[in-house]
Amino acid sequence: MNTIYILWIRQLKRFWRKKASIIGALGQPIIFLFVFGFGLSPIYAKAGGGDYIQFLAPGIIGMTVLFTAIFTGVEIIWDKQFGFLKETFVAPVSRFQIFVGKTLGGATVAAIQGLLVFAITFVAGYWPPNWALVPLAFVYLALVCILFSTLGTAIAARLDDMQGFPLIINFVIQPLFYLSGALFPLVGLPKVLGLITKINPLSFGVDGLRYALSGGNIFSPWLSLGVLCGVTIVVTGFGLYQFSKIEL
């Protein structure tokens, strides 16, 4: 447990040292929130959808934690290249503890970014209709952070190229994001796209956040929790296997 704590704290220290990166990471969600939010609000309202900012805000929070969590995997490649991972592996601790520490560190960083964006949504005019459900939103947020931090670590475990990692990750997360319902409702879609959205784990994370923060949902909240928990367990098992195969 001490190893997990040390690696978790190390991830957080790296995060706080990169203040420019913190600000830069907020750029994309702010653009999506204000440009898309105010630009498409009149069209969304005329179509009978209501307040687009209320619909969009949970999706932007989901987008933020997705990108931040999965890109923390680049720390694994960085540690490989500079020898820190090798030094960690020769210590008398299991790779399971190392994996958990790094994953939790990445998930915590993503959660902090998500909470920052949550605060920014108030500037755009968003307001939770039911504050009693906000703690449930934090549960969905934590599950999404852990899921995609684990996925990022699993992918990075098999890569040695710092430049190749972003290319592969973008290939993975762009479809996940755009077909998650973060920007538009998952109703009336063509059958193929509708099927993809139903097997996309982020769809359940965004829908759960939207249920807790805006009061609208497509899937049952319990179904969303179950899917996120199940997929997280599967991806964690896959990540542990990939992490155990690292050779330095």
Q: Domain count of the chain?
A: 1
Each residue's pLDDT tens digit, 113-133: 999 999 999 988 898 988 999
The structure's pTM equals 0.89
Nearest Cα residue to 232 out of 153, 116, 133, 138 = 153
> What is the Cα–Cα distance from 58 to 121, expressed in whole angstroms?
9
> What is the Cα–Cα distance from 203 to 209, expressed in whole angstroms?
10
Domain that holds residue 19: 2-244
- The CA-based dihedral angle spanning residues 21, 27, 29, 32, taken in that order and rounded to the nearest 10 degrees: -160
Each residue's pLDDT tens digit, 184-219: 888 888 888 888 888 999 999 999 999 999 888 889
Nearest Cα residue to 109 out of 213, 13, 236 = 13
Asked if 206 and 65 touch (Cβ cutoff 8 Å), the reply is: no
